[in-house]
Structures are given as C-alpha cells and as structure tokens.
A and B are shown apart, each in its own frame.
Chain A
C-alpha cells in the first residue's frame, strides 16, 4: 500500500550491514556485566531463604565474620527505613524484612576477598526461620482458606469480599455483551491457564558497585536501563540519584527482566560497609531462576460468541494473574487491553484481578501480559473456527482491526498493519502445504502497543566529518546498528562513519530502559532530530563562510549546498570540511534532542505453525513456523527478522515445555536449565519470516518497534496446531508430553 506521506528509496535505511558490536561479540572481546573488575575488588554472595514463606527470627553472621578475608555482611537492618510504595517493595525484595516471601528471597549478603570465600561465608550465616503456610498457585492463592501472605495488600480498586491476596482489580468494556452472546450461533466459555516462564537471558545478573562513606558511588552493571537502576538503587539505599553514576555493560539478553533491580543495591551496601572497596556480585543460574522476575502465571476465563459466518458478536474475559509476593507486578493492565486488540468487536467486557503468592517478584517479559491474553482469546477463537468449520485467517480478516477502528481498549487505531499480515500469511506457501497424519496447523495473531518514553540523545560531529551518537538505551537487539543507519541516512554519510555509543547516566538526561520495543523507535527518532539540529548548524557555518543567508543553504548527500541558483554559486561544503574548520567557525558542532517520545505505532503479527504429535508419547515436533509481522519500516531487516525469530522461539518454549514447577513445600523444583526446558537449537526448525511494512506516520522513517509482538501468537498457535493434530485441546500450558498424552488418551476414552 503506497502512501505519499511516506518516503522510500533510502540509501542506508533498509540495508543489512554488520552490527558495530558484532566483531567484539564473536571474538569474546565484548565486556559483559561479569567481565568487569576493579583493583581491590571484593566478591559478594547472597544468603537466600529455603522457605516459601517464613518469619525471620534471627540472623547470626558471627561465624562468617570471623573468617579471615570476610569484609562485610549486610542484612535488612543495614538499609534505611521509612520507605513506602514501590520503593518499599523494591527494598523488601532486595533484602527480606520481617518475612521471607518466597524460596530464594535474599536474607543477607556477604563480601569477601574471593568468590569462593564469599560463598563459604554465606553458608556460615545462620538464619533462624519460623516457617509459615504458603501458597504458590494463582487459583489456590484466591481460594477460600488460602493463607493471606501480606495483609492489607489490596488497593482501592479491589471490591469488598475478594480474597486477601487480591491486590488489584480492573474492568472496562463497551457494548452489550449479553445481547451479543444472544445474537451468536455458537457461544463457548472455557478457562485457560499459563504457567510462569522466565526470560531465560543467557547472561545472569552481574554488577560491580562502589559506594564511599561520602555517599558517592558508581556501578557497572548488566541492565536494560541504567537510569532505572540508579533511581531504584538510590531509593533502596537512601542516597541521591546524582551521586550514583551507573555505567551499563554489554548485555546478554534481558527481554524485560533487566528493567528493574534485584541484587544490584547489595553491591553498594556491602561496599559502603567494607570501607568503599568495590564489590562484585554475579548471580548463578539457579539464583536467576529462583530470585529474579519471571513473568506472571495466569488463569483466564474467556467467553466468545460467533455467528456461523464467522462474525464475532461479543467477548468477555476474567483474568487472574499472579506476579509473585509483591503487588503491581502482574501485568493485568497490559493483558486486558491486549486480549481483543486484534479485533473489532461490538461488545466486550474485560475484568481482571492481580493476586499475590509466595513466588519471586515478577518482572516484565517481552510484551508483558499479551502472550497469556492471546493464549486465552486466540485459542478460543480457534476452537470456534474449528467447531464452525471456518478458516482461521478468514475469520480474523473479517473481524480484525483496521485503520480507524476503535481499539478494544479505547483509542482509535491510526495506521496499522494487521490485515496486511493476515493477507501475507494467507498467501504464503506454508499455508498451502498439505498436512500428513498426526500433523496439525495453528494460526494466531498478536499485538503489542509499543512505546515511546523518556529519551535523551546527543550527537557530535567529528573533525573528520564522522559522527558520534550518544544514546541511553542499552543495545540488546541491534539498535546501535539501526540508529547508526538512520543517522547515516539523515546526515548523508556512510554508515561506517557513524559510531553509536551507549553512555552512562552522567552523560545524558534521564532515559527509560530499552523496553516496550522503544529503543530503535525512540532513541532513533531523537537521534534523527539531533542530526537535524547538527545539520542546521552546519548549514549556518557554510552560510557564514559563503556570506549568504542560512536559509539559502540546504543539506544533501553529506554536504551543504546553495539552495538554488539565487543563493549563489558555491561548490558543496562537505561535513568533513565543516568539521575540520569548526574550531575556528564557532566551536564544536553537536545536536541534542530530548523528549517523551510520542507517535509510536502498534505492531501486529500473524503466525502459522505446523506440528506433528507422536500419538504414543504426546511429544510435539514443530515442523515449520512462519512469522508475519508489521515492522513499520525495517531499518535493518536482518535484526527485524532476528526479533521475529527470537520472539517465536521464546513463545514456542512457553507453549511446549517451559514452566515453573513448585513442590508441595513451595520450593522451586527446576531452577536449572536442565529441567527448566527452554528450546535448544535442534528443537526448532528455521523460522520463516515475512516483514510487512506499513510505515508508522509517527516516526521520521516509519519505525514501529518489533521486539515484542512475536512472542504473543506462538502460545495459542501451537496449542491450536496440537488440537488439529490430535483432536485434543490443551487449555493449560505448557503442552508438555505428559499433558498431551493424557489428553489424547482421554479422547479415546
């Protein structure tokens, strides 16, 4: 669909150069969180609760402190008091207060001269617990008789009479759902469940922190957002933000899980107690799984009515989501708006509650809330399609949101690409491949809002005509390359002449993390504005030399040109010439832009998956997988494809085998990758991708943000494909072999 307000035919945007961090990463030169060290550095280890819920009666660190080389022990008594709200939650999660609230909750930390010594010392810290009744399942946490784990957790929104573990309630909707159901030919109602899953980033959390007696400190840390680390750590420790300088490392994945703090403030608290010596803390994989934030587990009631021709007449959902022992962490506020975001339905009712339970404090995970919601709603739509004998893509085309549709959650969609993804999926050869015995095909669409957020970017022109760009959003998926391409395009200089650096908190205004699929969108948009500002200044310098009006100078192909014959006859003045003379022509040339970026555009996607299920073991093999998604404009298509494939891979893991398994004692049973079953490379086929480009009018190059939508459709698509292969509908993830085999056997009777 060609639009005249959208520019195409770019020189750099849309090409696939190597990423600037590529060589460092493949040679092992890149510095990740755990690679950082300082002279005189101490190592830390954390003592964690073995109980899901327990009162901390006593902590005795005397044996640990008696060890030669042990320099400091911190407990909650070392942290300031009087915090409230989310700051208190963060502090409570950093170190348990009166109670340990989940298996793995940090209770104390120790710093010593070596890692082994710190670990030995941690084992010598004796904690006396009084074990309390616990609950870990989302439905069990709301059942009558479930222990109320934090009395008074409910906020104003929770209606009278709900269980004491309910922290929040939400509802919204439009139209008359009862009339809608009455008008339908088929109405179905089911409950769907998803288990908590972890982001599974390769790099465990790691930080080196240093804090002196004067309250001034520094931290080097693996994070998605160092200003968030700064604000949260400062709040937990009672120091001023400006006194904490935070430098991000390269990042081995985050997926939302590194947008908050877990153990980071401990490095600073220990450092301060150890006389200001730097302290390093690296989590083990088991600590990551037990004590960092997975996503919420969910239990979701869905009711949808459909006519025989596939028209959806009404929909209704009630979601229960558990995000650990702290309120505010289960993504009901995202899950509800995402539930029907792909559809234009006359009557909808949404309700949800957030429930707390004795599990780790949840964090964001790629499109938080959207995959669960999609599992419930898209599975149900598929069930109705199968029962009515309708094609799932046709039904989505018929009911799907379009440009100008009022979204299920209120705002009107401006320019969106859902229909285009559905058409592309329908036309793709995968959709026509005949299926063999025990094989099934699943289709689902997905949505993510995307995000703008607080953004500050600077750009400086070099003496040789190159450009340095300073951004504050850590590069997880190739954003330095994409931002470099946009700046190269704007300045009209080669991609190789632009270096994009992720800089520390002292170098820019506050930046939100790389979250919400915003880095390429928001930092990119600000970088383009900063480049435009530098261009303006360079035109001014050329104008001064030519002794003409600055307005009579235009910028193209990396040089200032007289705007027309009337401006005078001067040879173009390149960025290199301007840069080499800038000291004498008015000083350094730079650009800067800061904004809470608006204009972000939603990204829709449609996935098609074929599976084969072994009818004797219930084991599912993914035969082929297709991701079609609207990127707006794919600045660097290879990294867009990478996001599509990565999202699909994580979604497939969530659908098939990943789950948090808690024992009756409330302890996590599988805190290792051996038993927390993320897909391995050989589990997946090459994931096919189609990039749909419906440019976002809110971005100078049409970017939408592509990171998150891709994890959303796999959950329902896989379950629907399994239903196609076996006749058995799995409404509770994961579709692990024991569950699928039991469902197949139940069908046979």
Chain B
C-alpha cells in the first residue's frame, strides 16, 4: 500500500488519477481504517487529505452560507455556535455519528463518500441543499450533495475526483431544519430509518420545504412528494398525516438484519412527522 500526503487538492486529484488499483481517501478514517482492519478493503493507494491547508476550517461564504473543510470532524461542527444556529439539523445528524472518540475524527465528506444509505449526516445535508465542491484532473465542479452517492459503497465521483469542500447555503429568515434517526438502542448503532426536514415559514405557513429520507433506498432520497405534502400548510394534523403517507409511499426499503421492509416504511412516516414538527418549531424560534 502506498500512503500519500498531498498538500493541495490538485495534487490529490493528480495522484488519484494516476492510480490503477484500489484507492481510498483518508479523511477521519473512521470508515476506511475500520474497513482495512476488518479485511474488507485493502487499498493499494491511500491518499491522506489532512495535509492540505484549509481542510480543517469552517468559513462564512460571501453569500452568507458556510464552507466546511473536508477534514472538519463532527465535534468541531457541534462546537460551532453560529453554524449550529443556522443548521441545527445538519449538525445534529453529524453529531449522531458514532461515539465521542469517533466524533473527534469523522467528517461530513467521509460520511457522504462512504456511500452508506444510512449515513446520518447525509439526509440533513440533502434537505439543506448542500453542495459538494469536487476537484478533479480537469478542474473543479459543484455537485448537489444528493447526486454524490450512487448506491451502497459507491459514489458518482469520476476517477481522480475528490471532494474539496462542502457548502451549506445561507440560512435566511424563518427557516429551520431537523434530523431524526431510528435505532433500537440509544447510540452506537446504524440508522434503520433516517429523515431530515428543512423548511421556511411565512407566518405560520410553510412556504419552502425539502425532505430527505435515509436507509429506505439504495441512496438517500430527496422527496418532492413529502415536500409538497407540507408546503402551503401550517403543519396541522392533516398536513402531518399527508407527510407521513408521502414518506411511506416514497420509502423503498429492503428487509435486512437491521429491520424489516414493513417496519422501515412505517417508521419513515413517523420520523417525517416528528422531524417536521421540530423543524417547524425551530423556524418559529420556539425551540432550538
């Protein structure tokens, strides 16, 4: 195995483009190193991204959003008061990942590129409208986060491409987001279902909404049907029931060791309802 420590994303992309065997990037390593230890992956090339200047920074963008470096660990996101004020749902998703030890390393980009349908930070990023900046041999492009995962363990990144930052849009006024996951235990478990809701209010009325469902399809789903069920409503009981129904309809889960198909469908509806209420209260400013 060759271990690389490039100091720019251009170099990282060039090294990646030149590899022929199994390649992995090393951000926090909480997926990669575990998979290597378990004998699941034996990379020929391991490209450590943590030597690239700026990867540990969280910065305001000119538009008022947030640009998050690809090595920023969960614990730093959780400790960033302004970011948490803007995007509590995104941060709470990331902060659910693993334990205190894992939080010290695990990153948003790693969670996204590991390609798990159950990744906890991805529904929140998708609902928020986050964008990944991708550096490749031919330069840089911006891709909505929902278009990165291609299926379990796979991404749509081309050979030589690496995510160089994740950007969250400006929060704007009267917005709120939330993420909930279902696990049988209280921590150290994989989401059986996850759901993030991001919405904006005008008075009591929902005027914008994005709803993302995790662990109920090969990739995290951005559900228009769910959004439609609540846009234009005050999130009254009828709207919540319609949202639950839409979420159940969108969910296309499998039965596996972590839960049955029927269960995941039911719980997708329950979590959508519950997450929407939290997001709504946050948008209203009645809760944090």
Asked if B202 is at the interface (CB within 8 A of a chain A CB), the reply is no
Chain A contacts of B7 at CB under 8 A? none
Asked if A737 is at the interface (CB within 8 A of a chain B CB), the reply is yes
CB within 8 Å of B: which A679-737 residues: 679-680, 682-683, 736-737
Question: CB distance B184 to A737 under 8 Å?
Answer: yes
Asked if A133 is at the interface (CB within 8 A of a chain B CB), the reply is no
Question: CB distance A677 to B38 under 8 Å?
Answer: no
Interface string of A579-619 (1 = CB under 8 A from B): 00000000000000000000000000000000000001111
Q: Bound complex: CA of A737 vs CA of B262, how far in Å? A: 12
Chain A residues with a Cβ closer than 8 Å to the other chain, count: 28
Asked if B19 is at the interface (CB within 8 A of a chain A CB), the reply is no
Interface string of B184-207 (1 = CB under 8 A from A): 111111101000000000000000
Looking at the assembled complex, report how far the CB atom of A507 sits from the nearest CB atom of chain B, in whole angstroms.
Answer: 38
Partner pick for A286 among B38, B182, B185, B192, CB 8 A cutoff: B38
Interface footprint category on B: 20 to 34
Partner pick for B257 among A656, A670, A682, A745, CB 8 A cutoff: A670
Asked if B147 is at the interface (CB within 8 A of a chain A CB), the reply is no
Q: Bound complex: CA of A38 vs CA of B231, how far in Å? A: 69
Nearest neighbor of B270 in chain A, beta-carbon distance:
A616
Looking at the assembled complex, report how far the CB atom of A195 sits from the nearest CB atom of chain B, in whole angstroms.
Answer: 12
Question: CB distance B258 to A675 under 8 Å?
Answer: yes
Question: CB distance A742 to B187 under 8 Å?
Answer: no
Q: Bound complex: CA of A123 vs CA of B185, how far in Å? A: 35
Asked if A741 is at the interface (CB within 8 A of a chain B CB), the reply is yes
Asked if B263 is at the interface (CB within 8 A of a chain A CB), the reply is yes
Looking at the assembled complex, report how far the CB atom of A50 sits from the nearest CB atom of chain B, in whole angstroms.
Answer: 12
Asked if B156 is at the interface (CB within 8 A of a chain A CB), the reply is no
Partner pick for B267 among A617, A680, A736, A745, CB 8 A cutoff: A617
Partner pick for B184 among A123, A656, A661, A673, CB 8 A cutoff: A656
Chain B contacts of A679 at CB under 8 A? 185
Asked if B170 is at the interface (CB within 8 A of a chain A CB), the reply is no
Question: CB distance A741 to B263 under 8 Å?
Answer: yes
Chain B contacts of A737 at CB under 8 A? 182, 184, 192, 259, 263
Chain A contacts of B185 at CB under 8 A? 657, 677, 679-680, 683
Nearest neighbor of B273 in chain A, beta-carbon distance:
A616
**Contacts A617-B270, A674-B190: A738 and B263 contacting too (C-beta < 8 A)?**
yes
Asked if B266 is at the interface (CB within 8 A of a chain A CB), the reply is yes
Interface string of A272-294 (1 = CB under 8 A from B): 00000000000010100000000
Question: CB distance B257 to A669 under 8 Å?
Answer: yes
Partner pick for B39 among A119, A661, A674, CB 8 A cutoff: A119
Q: Bound complex: CA of A189 vs CA of B184, how far in Å? A: 30
Chain B contacts of A119 at CB under 8 A? 39
Asked if B22 is at the interface (CB within 8 A of a chain A CB), the reply is no
Looking at the assembled complex, report how far the CB atom of B204 sits from the nearest CB atom of chain A, in whole angstroms.
Answer: 25
Question: CB distance B263 to A619 under 8 Å?
Answer: no
**Contacts A617-B270, A619-B182, A741-B266: A680 and B188 contacting too (C-beta < 8 A)?**
yes
Chain A contacts of B189 at CB under 8 A? 674, 677
Nearest neighbor of B182 in chain A, beta-carbon distance:
A617
Question: CB distance B257 to A742 under 8 Å?
Answer: no
Chain B contacts of A677 at CB under 8 A? 184-185, 189
Q: Bound complex: CA of A683 vs CA of B184, how far in Å? A: 9
Looking at the assembled complex, report how far the CB atom of A657 sits from the nearest CB atom of chain B, in whole angstroms.
Answer: 5
Looking at the assembled complex, report how far the CB atom of A698 sits from the nearest CB atom of chain B, in whole angstroms.
Answer: 42
Chain B contacts of A682 at CB under 8 A? 186-187
Question: CB distance B188 to A674 under 8 Å?
Answer: yes
Chain B contacts of A619 at CB under 8 A? 182, 184
Total CB contacts across the A-B interface at under 8 A: 58
Chain B contacts of A674 at CB under 8 A? 188-190
Asked if B260 is at the interface (CB within 8 A of a chain A CB), the reply is yes
Nearest neighbor of B192 in chain A, beta-carbon distance:
A737
Q: Bound complex: CA of A670 vs CA of B256, how far in Å? A: 10
Looking at the assembled complex, report how far the CB atom of B31 sits from the nearest CB atom of chain A, in whole angstroms.
Answer: 12
Chain A contacts of B266 at CB under 8 A? 616-617, 741, 745
Chain B contacts of A669 at CB under 8 A? 256-257
Interface string of A84-127 (1 = CB under 8 A from B): 00000000000000000000000000000000000100010000
Q: Bound complex: CA of A661 vs CA of B190, how far in Å? A: 16
Looking at the assembled complex, report how far the CB atom of A154 sits from the nearest CB atom of chain B, in whole angstroms.
Answer: 33
Question: CB distance B257 to A661 under 8 Å?
Answer: yes
Looking at the assembled complex, report how far the CB atom of A44 sits from the nearest CB atom of chain B, in whole angstroms.
Answer: 16
Nearest neighbor of A284 in chain B, beta-carbon distance:
B38
Q: Bound complex: CA of A342 vs CA of B263, how far in Å? A: 38
Chain B contacts of A286 at CB under 8 A? 38
Q: Bound complex: CA of A734 vs CA of B258, how far in Å? A: 13
Looking at the assembled complex, report how far the CB atom of A173 sits from the nearest CB atom of chain B, in whole angstroms.
Answer: 39
Chain B contacts of A661 at CB under 8 A? 257
Chain B contacts of A683 at CB under 8 A? 185-186
Q: Bound complex: CA of A738 vs CA of B39, how far in Å? A: 31
Nearest neighbor of A123 in chain B, beta-carbon distance:
B39
Interface string of A641-664 (1 = CB under 8 A from B): 000000000000000110001000
Scoring A616, A656, A661, A669 by chain B CB atoms within 10 A of each residue's CB, the highest score goes to A616
Chain B contacts of A673 at CB under 8 A? 188
Looking at the assembled complex, report how far the CB atom of B185 sits from the nearest CB atom of chain A, in whole angstroms.
Answer: 5
Q: Bound complex: CA of A119 vs CA of B256, how far in Å? A: 30
Looking at the assembled complex, report how far the CB atom of B119 sits from the nearest CB atom of chain A, in whole angstroms.
Answer: 14
Q: Bound complex: CA of A736 vs CA of B255, how far in Å? A: 14
Looking at the assembled complex, report how far the CB atom of A198 sits from the nearest CB atom of chain B, in whole angstroms.
Answer: 15
Nearest neighbor of B274 in chain A, beta-carbon distance:
A616
Interface string of B255-288 (1 = CB under 8 A from A): 0111110110011001000000000000000000
Nearest neighbor of B37 in chain A, beta-carbon distance:
A284
Looking at the assembled complex, report how far the CB atom of A488 sits from the nearest CB atom of chain B, in whole angstroms.
Answer: 40
Q: Bound complex: CA of A286 vs CA of B189, how far in Å? A: 17
Question: CB distance A680 to B259 under 8 Å?
Answer: no
Interface string of B162-195 (1 = CB under 8 A from A): 0000000000000000000010111111101000
Q: Bound complex: CA of A683 vs CA of B189, how far in Å? A: 12
Q: Bound complex: CA of A657 vs CA of B259, how far in Å? A: 11
CB within 8 Å of A: which B63-90 residues: none
Q: Bound complex: CA of A741 vs CA of B267, how far in Å? A: 10
Q: Bound complex: CA of A478 vs CA of B107, how far in Å? A: 41
Partner pick for B187 among A617, A680, A736, A745, CB 8 A cutoff: A680
Scoring A661, A669, A741, A745 by chain B CB atoms within 10 A of each residue's CB, the highest score goes to A741
Nearest neighbor of B260 in chain A, beta-carbon distance:
A738
Nearest neighbor of B186 in chain A, beta-carbon distance:
A682
Question: CB distance A736 to B257 under 8 Å?
Answer: no
Looking at the assembled complex, report how far the CB atom of A661 sits from the nearest CB atom of chain B, in whole angstroms.
Answer: 4
Q: Bound complex: CA of A683 vs CA of B186, how far in Å? A: 6
Scoring A119, A670, A683 by chain B CB atoms within 10 A of each residue's CB, the highest score goes to A683
Chain A contacts of B259 at CB under 8 A? 737-738
Q: Bound complex: CA of A617 vs CA of B257, how far in Å? A: 17
Q: Bound complex: CA of A736 vs CA of B267, how far in Å? A: 14
Chain A contacts of B267 at CB under 8 A? 616-617, 741
Chain A contacts of B190 at CB under 8 A? 674-675
Looking at the assembled complex, report how far the CB atom of A445 sits from the nearest CB atom of chain B, in whole angstroms.
Answer: 27
Looking at the assembled complex, report how far the CB atom of A664 sits from the nearest CB atom of chain B, in whole angstroms.
Answer: 12
Nearest neighbor of A682 in chain B, beta-carbon distance:
B186
Nearest neighbor of A676 in chain B, beta-carbon distance:
B257
Looking at the assembled complex, report how far the CB atom of A232 sits from the nearest CB atom of chain B, in whole angstroms.
Answer: 29
Q: Bound complex: CA of A625 vs CA of B257, how far in Å? A: 28
Nearest neighbor of A120 in chain B, beta-carbon distance:
B42
Interface string of A613-645 (1 = CB under 8 A from B): 000111100000000000000000000000000
Tell me the B residues contacting A by CB distance below 8 Å.
Answer: 38-39, 182, 184-190, 192, 256-260, 262-263, 266-267, 270
Can you list the 7 inter-chain pairs with the closest CB atoms, starting with the nearest?
A738-B263, A682-B186, A669-B257, A661-B257, A616-B270, A738-B260, A657-B184
12 contacts between A and B (CB under 8 A): A119-B39, A284-B38, A616-B266, A616-B267, A617-B266, A657-B185, A674-B188, A682-B187, A683-B186, A738-B259, A738-B260, A742-B260
Given contacts A619-B182, A675-B257, A675-B258, 13 further A-B contacts (CB under 8 A): A119-B39, A123-B39, A616-B266, A616-B267, A616-B270, A673-B188, A677-B184, A680-B185, A680-B187, A737-B184, A738-B259, A738-B260, A742-B263
